[in-house]
């Protein structure tokens, strides 16, 4: 049974997930109808990565919510896990999309640092969740 906090976050994530569908439809439309889109390989790669990471990390966030209530982490650390992994699902795509907004961008702008920040937040959330699950089973904490 999910805690109230996890259930609310899961609901929010499911409401946000259609934005990934919107992104997928957008890149598909660009690929098919905008010949200039394929001319900028860096932009195409980063926008594909933006769409892909948004989808995969939102699904990973939903998976994490199933586990976080099973840990015996403090409420503060459970809150951190519930916020950190979904935050990375926002930060990485923002970095990928916003760093090459211009069709003529040859280098990503400073927004790309959001992707690195997202990576740090993601790793922190995953480690806390993983350690919380392992500690739950250890004899010392049982
Ligand atoms: C939750 C829903 C979705 C998830 C999790 C998802 C995930 C992904 C992933 C992981 C990739 C990268 C594949 C790769 O390059 O190896 C991708 C690419 C792509 N997706 Fe989605 N996708 C979703 C929905 C959609 C929808 C609804 C559409 C269009 C109707 C779409 C269109 C595309 C296109 C066209 C690409 C290739 C983009 C390119 O190569 O530039 N996606 N998606």
CA 124 to ligand 1 center in whole angstroms = 26
DSSP code per residue over the chain: ---HHHHHHHHHHHHHTHHHHHHHHHHHHHHHH-GGGGG-HHHHHHHHHHHHHHHHHHHHHHHHHHHHTTS---HHHHHHHHHHHHHHHHHHHHHHHHTT-STT-SS--GGGHHHHHHHHHHHHHHHHHHHHHHHHHSGGG-
CA 49 to ligand 1 center in whole angstroms = 9
> What pLDDT does residue 127 have?
98
User: What are the tens digits of pLDDT across the range 72-83?
Assistant: 999 999 999 999
* Confidence class for position 142, pLDDT limits 50, 70, 90: very low
User: What are the tens digits of pLDDT across the range 15-68?
Assistant: 999 999 999 999 999 999 999 999 999 999 999 999 999 999 999 999 999 999
* Confidence class for position 140, pLDDT limits 50, 70, 90: low
> What pLDDT does residue 137 have?
77
> What pLDDT does residue 1 have?
84
> Among the atoms of ligand 1, which is closest to the Cα of residue 17?
1
> Among the atoms of ligand 1, which is closest to the Cα of residue 56?
5
**Portion of the chain with pLDDT greater than 90, in percent:** 94
Closest CA to 80 of 116, 114, 128: 128
CA 31 to ligand 1 center in whole angstroms = 12
- C-alpha–C-alpha distance, residues 30 and 68, integer Å: 38
């Amino acid at each position: 049974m999910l805690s109230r906090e996890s259930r609310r976050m899961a609901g929010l994530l499911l409401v946000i997930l259609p934005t990934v569908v919107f992104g997928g439809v957008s890149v598909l439309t660009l690929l098919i109808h905008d010949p200039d889109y394929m001319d900028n390989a860096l932009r195409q790669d980063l926008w594909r990565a933006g769409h892909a990471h948004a989808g995969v990390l939102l699904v990973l966030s939903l998976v994490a919510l199933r586990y976080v209530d099973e840990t015996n982490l403090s409420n503060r650390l459970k809150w951190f896990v519930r916020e950190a992994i979904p935050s990375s699902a926002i930060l990485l795509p923002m970095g990928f999309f916003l760093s090459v907004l211009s069709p003529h961008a040859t280098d990503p702008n400073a927004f790309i640092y959001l992707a690195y920040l997202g990576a740090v937040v993601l790793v922190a959330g995953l480690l806390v969740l993983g350690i919380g699950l392992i500690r739950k089973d250890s004899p010392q904490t049982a």
